[in-house]
Structure 1
Amino acid sequence: MTGCQLSLRALVTSRRTGCSVSFFAGGIGIGAWAASLPLLAAKLNIDKGQLGALLLCFALGAIALMVNVGRVSDRLGSSSLLSFGGSLVFGAAIITIPVVDGLLLSGALIVVAGAGFGTLDVSMNIEAAEIERASGRHLMSSFHALFSIGNIVGAFLVGVAVTYGGRLQECLGVAGLLIVSLRLPPEPSGAKQTRMQSRPLPTQTPNLRPRSTGSSECWS
C-alpha cells in the first residue's frame, strides 16, 4: 500500500468520524426536541392547535433550507463546512427557545432551529455519500443508524430530566450543548480534495502484456 493510499484512507476515516458525530448529534437534537414539546406547550400555555403551528414553523424552516443546501454545497465545495454551520445554528436555537416568551418570538426561533436542522440534514447526507464513494463501501446505513440511536438518546435524556424535575431550560439546554460540542470543526478541504477522494485508488499491479508492436522489449 502506497503513501498516497494510506493518506487517502486516513482522510476518509477522519471525515467518517466527523460525519458520524453529525448524524448522532442531529439525532439527539430531534429526539430531545420531540420529547420536550409537552414542556414547551405548558411553558407557553398554548393549546394543541397553537402547538401544531409551532411544529409547522420548524418544518417550514427545514424545507426552506433543504431545497437549497445542495446548490450551496456545490458552490462551496465543502459539505463539512455546511454541516458544521447547521449544527451550530440548530444547537444555538434549541438552547435559546426555552428562554424566550411569547408565541411569535418562539415561532421565529423555531423557524431558525428548523433551518439549522435542514442544513445539517442535507449537508451531512451529502458528506456521507462522498465518504461512501471514496471508501468503496456501503456506509450510509451505519450513518442513519447513528441518527436513530441519537433520537433514542435525546428522548431518553429528556425523560430522565423530567422524571427528576427538569424544566424545559434543562432539557433543551443540555441537548443544544451536546449538538454544539459534539460536532468538531471540519478540516480545511476544498473542491479539489473532494474530487480526489471520489476517484478510484490507483492499482499497483503492473500490466505485463506486450504491446502490439511485437517487440519483446516493449512492455507497458
Structure 2
Amino acid sequence: MPQAPTLPTRPVRAATPLSSRTAVNAVLLMFAVNGMLLGGYGGSLPSVRDRLDLDATQIAIMLFSGGLAGITTMQIGGRLADKIGARRIVFAGLPLLIAAAVVLAFAPTYPIAIVAGLLFGLGNGAMDIAMNALGVQVEAARRRPIMSRFHAFFSIGNFVGAGVVLVMAKALGITGSGIVLPVMVTLAAIAVAVLVLLVRIAPEAAVVSHSTDGGARTKIPAMAWVLCLMSMAFGLSEGTAVDWSSLHVTDVAQVDPTVGALGLIAVSGFMVIIRLFGDGLVARFGRRTVVRYGGACAAVGYAMVALVSSLPLLVVGWALVGFGVGMIAPQVYAVAGHLGGGRVLAVVVTFGYATFLAGPAIIGFLVNHVGIQHAMVVPALLCVGVVFLASTLPKTDADLENARTAR
C-alpha cells in the first residue's frame, strides 16, 4: 500500500535564552519603544488640545481615565505574566499602544480622544509590568545587574518620542494641531517594525508559581509593603520633578519659560546618565547602598531648590534630584520582581504609578497655599524617608534569594 506523501514542516523557532545578548537587546527595545510611544503621546497633547479645542479639565479627565485603565491592567497583567509568561503580555500590550497612537492621530472628537487615552493606559499598564518582569528574569539569568540600563532606555525612548514632535514640526513646516497625525502615524509605524522584530528575538519568559508544595497560595511577603512605601515616596518625588521643575525654575529665578525648561532638562538628562551607569554601581556596592545614596542625593537636591533662588544653583539642585531618583526605581522594581514575580511587581509598581499621577496635583495644592519653593520640602522629606526604608532591603542578591525562598 503506497504511503501518503509527507508534508514539509515549518522549522520551529529556537527560543532565545534569557541569559543571551539577544534577550538583553529585546528587553532594551521593549523599554525604548514603550517610552517612545508615551513620549510622543505626552508631546502631542498640546496639539490635541488645540485641534479639539479642549480645556484643562478635559485634558485632565483624559489623562486620569488613561491612568485608571493603566492601574487596572497592571494588576491583571502582573498575574497573567506569572501564569502564561511575561513575553505574551508584552505582545498584548504593545499592539494596544500602537492602536492608541493611530486612534489619537485621526481622533475627530473628544470622545474618540478619550478612547485613545484609555487604549494608551490599557496598553502601557500591561506592557510596563510585563517588560519589567521579563527584565528581572533576564537579570536573574545573567546573574548581574541590568535593570538600571533597561530603565535608561525607557527614558531615552521617552525623550525621542517627545523630540519627534519638534523635529517633524520643523522638518514639515507644520505647527499647532496639524502635527498630531504625522507624528502619531510615524511613531506607530516604528513601533510596528519593532513589534515584528521582537516576535523573532524576544526570549520566552519563565512561568512563576505562587503556590506551596501543598497547593496553598503563598502570601505577598511583608517586604513588598515596604517596597510599596518606597515606591510611593519616589513616585511623588519623580512626578514632582517631571511636572514642576520647569515651572519652579521659571518662577523662582524669574526667567523666561524657555530658560526655565533647564530644570526639566537637568532632571531628565541626569536621570538617564545615572541609569546608564547604575548597574555598575549596583554590582559594586549593592542595591541597598545605591537606593540609600539615591534617596540622599534627591533629598539634597530638593533641599537646594527649596532654599536657593539663583539660576545656576537651581539647575544644580534639579540635576541632583534627577541623579538621585534615577537610582531608586530600577532597584526597587528589581527587588520586587525577584521577590515575587509579576504579582508582587504589579502591587509595587501600581503604588508608585498612582502616586506619580496624583503627586503633582498634591504639590499643586501646596503651591497654592505655601508657595512653590516651600512645597518642595515635601518631596525632600519623602526622599529622606527612602534613605531610612532602604535599610530594610536585602544587602546582597544572595540575601534577596534567601528572602524569596523563605516565604
- TM-score, length-scaled by structure 2: 0.43
Deviation at 1:48, TM superposition (A): 1.1
Which structure ranks higher in relative contact order (CA pairs < 8 Å, sequence separation ≥ 6)? 1
Paired position in structure 2 for 1:135: 142
Given that residues 28 and 154 in structure 1 are in contact (C-alpha distance below 8 angstroms), is that contact kept between their aligned partners in structure 2?
A: yes
Q: Summarize the alignment of residues 28-177 of structure 1 with structure 2, pairs less than 5 Å apart.
A: 28-76=36-84, 78-163=85-170, 164-165=173-174, 167-177=179-189
Is 1:181 matched with 2:189? no
Q: Post-superposition shift, 1:190?
A: 6.4
1:84 and 1:137 mapped to 2: Cα distance?
A: 26
Within 1, Cα distance between the matches of 2:26 and 2:143? 18
Runs of 4+ in structure 1 deviating by more than 3 angstroms, as ranges, are 7-11, 186-192
- How far off its partner does 1:179 sit? 2.0
Structure 1 position 87, deviation (Å): 1.1
Mapped partners of 1:133, 1:188: distance in 2: 13
Shift of 1:26: 0.7
**Deviates further, 79-88 or 35-44:** 79-88
Q: Distance in 1 between matches of 2:104 and 2:16?
A: 41
* Overall identity of the aligned pairs, in %: 26
Gaps (5+ residues) in structure 1? 1-6, 199-220
Please say if residues 16 and 131 of structure 1, whose CA atoms lie closer than 8 Å, have aligned partners that are also in contact. yes
Q: Which has the higher helix share?
A: 2
Q: Would you say how many aligned residue pairs link Structure 1 and Structure 2?
A: 188
Do the aligned partners of residues 120 and 167 (structure 1) sit closer, same or farther apart at CA in structure 2, a change above 3 Å counting? same
Question: Is contact 1:58–1:113 with CA below 8 Å preserved after alignment?
Answer: yes
What is the root-mean-square deviation of aligned Cα atoms in Å?
2.4
Mapped to 1, the partners of 2:165 and 2:112 lie a distance apart of 23
- For residues 144 and 130 of structure 1, the distance between their equivalents in structure 2, rounded to whole angstroms, comes to 15
Question: Contact between 1:57 and 1:108, CA under 8 Å: does it hold in 2?
Answer: no
Gaps of 5+ in 2: 1-14, 210-337, 339-407
1:162 Cα deviation after fit: 2.0
Aligned equivalents of 1:109, 1:128: Cα separation in 2: 27
Q: Deviations over 1:102-124 (max 9, x none)?
A: 22222122101210011111100
